[in-house]
Chain A
Amino acid sequence: MEAVTILNDLSFTINRGDTLAVLGPSGAGKTSLLRLLNGMDSPSSGHIFFDNKLLEDHPILELRKNIGMVFQSPAMLKGSVEENLRITERWSDNVFSTDKLVTVLEYVELSQRFLSKNAQSLSGGEKQRVALARVLLNYPSVLLLDEPTANLDPKLAKSIIKLFSDLQKGLGLTVLISSHNHSLIQNFVNRVIVLIDGKIIEEGNVGVLSNPKTKEVQHFLLDENE
């Protein structure tokens, strides 16, 4: 298989409690970056530190619980929403009470009646919420959200973003959210990095977006507003 460099020469720091947006056009390497942080892939060179310790020195399964990831179009197992929420019971000692499941559904603004619904026939937005609830049941301290609004209509997208914002404040999570749509999430995050062709082009607080230094970023910001 041909080796392709997807991310190159990246360096950035995230502080506890930060909400960081990883912005960039599709194909910029946003998903690849998030997958590295969750340990789904390993970098071919370079180092990632988490809690002052090399990422690869953390026990991988614990790390993934601690750094939860919601994929762009989340996979649902065959069966009910309840079975999907109970998935970690398959490999851990977790036993969730129904009350617990109802509470976590409330977090993601779904009612109790969703428990018995067929998970695979939910709408895109509902799947996002169930996937988020599933991750929250692991009590993560970091959340990685990969293009969470990509398949949603603008109104739904806004309500999901608001949900993340509420959760982040309520639970004190550190959140990384990738998006090709900066206008949607810029009010929710306090820092951004702009990734183009696998490189960080712009980094800082949200202000950098209103005053982009490089043409590439200007181009990206304009493109998407069309």
Chain B
Amino acid sequence: MQEFYHITWTDVFVSLVLVGLTLALIRWWKIGLEKTLIIGTVRSFVQLTFMGYVLTFFFEQRHWSFMIGLIVVMTLIAGFEGARRQKKTPIPNYFLILTGSLFTTLVIVLGVILAFILDVKPWYYPYAIIPIGGMIIGNAMNSATLATNRFMSELQHRRREIEMMLSLGSPVRAAVQDSIRESVQAALIPTINSMMTVGIVFLPGIMSGQILSGVDPMIAVRYQIMIMYMWVTTTALADILVLALVYRQLFTSKAQLKQVNVRR
């Protein structure tokens, strides 16, 4: 039995047949995405190949400073991308807040995994830190920006309710409690849904990938379970951290709602 399915560049080019099939299909039905699809095909090829070289380079480095540097750069890019998406309702210092929340989440979750679960030695061993760190940052960014977005629309929606509570002497924290709860719940839904259906409705890409490359399914499963737990902790932590910092930006020290797109 073949243990390891080696995929060559030729194999990759052959897989373009699938894209060709898709092209034919959307042409036939006049869906009109041909150009975008071709660009997407080329971009995913170029970006991933480039990433392959970057990863190879980093995997060859055996010094902690490279890993720290890589993680910091990844976090900064995620923070920048996430903050860029928040343009419609700007929040003071959002880039700093988001990047700080992502980094804190990363340090805590990755720290626990490297120290107690995978028992990686040395801790900066790139085969663990790069993929796991990337997953943590990516998931944290998606969830935290989702939570922020929802929080801003909750504030707009509940503006009168929040001012009513403030006018009765409520501290800011209590006045935004419902908005924070709604936002974190909404941002956690995708994660919780995945926890509920994983293994039944879908097999996660990472697990499938591991099995494809010859890993014992039971090991792949154990990895996946850990990843699910890591995922939920990551999103909850990032959401709460980011909102705990965001709401403070939107009120004055006199517990007044600031005029940052929240008020009329």
Residues of A within 8 A of B (CB): 1, 38-42, 56, 60-62, 64-65, 68-69, 71, 73-75, 77, 87-88, 90-92, 131, 134-135, 138
Contact = CB atoms under 8 A, between A and B. Distances in A.
Contacts of B254: 39, 42, 56, 60
B255 A90 contact: no
Contacts of A41: 256
Interface residues on B, range: 10 to 19
A69 B160 CA distance: 13
Given A40-B163, A91-B174, A64 B256 contact: no
4 nearest CB pairs, A to B: A91-B174, A65-B169, A75-B160, A75-B164
B52 to A, nearest CB: 48
B171 A91 contact: yes
A135 B168 contact: yes
A139 to B, nearest CB: 11
B245 interface: no
Interface string B206-219: 00000000000000
Given A64-B168, A88-B170, 20 more contacts: A38-B167, A39-B255, A39-B256, A40-B163, A41-B256, A42-B252, A42-B256, A60-B254, A61-B171, A64-B169, A65-B168, A65-B169, A68-B167, A71-B164, A71-B167, A74-B164, A75-B163, A77-B161, A88-B168, A90-B177
A90 to B, nearest CB: 5
A119 B177 CA distance: 20
A75 B162 CA distance: 9
Interface in B154-198: 160-161, 163-171, 173-174, 177
Contacts of B255: 39, 60-61
Contacts of B15: none
Contacts of B164: 71, 74-75, 131
A118 to B, nearest CB: 15
A68 B168 contact: yes
23 contacts: A39-B255, A40-B163, A40-B167, A40-B256, A41-B256, A42-B254, A56-B254, A60-B254, A64-B168, A64-B169, A68-B168, A69-B167, A71-B160, A74-B164, A75-B161, A75-B163, A75-B164, A87-B165, A87-B168, A90-B177, A91-B169, A134-B168, A138-B168
Contacts of B10: none
B44 interface: no
Contacts of A138: 168-169
A39 B164 CA distance: 12
Given A62-B169, A134-B168, A1 B163 contact: no
Contacts of A77: 161
Contacts of A74: 164
Nearest to B257: A40
B160 to A, nearest CB: 4
Of B169, B171, B255, B259, chain A has the most CB atoms within 10 Å of the CB of B169
B40 to A, nearest CB: 40
A221 B171 CA distance: 41
Interface in B215-254: 252, 254
A134 B174 CA distance: 16
A48 to B, nearest CB: 13
B170 A90 contact: yes
A56 B168 CA distance: 17
A91 B259 contact: no
Nearest to B167: A69
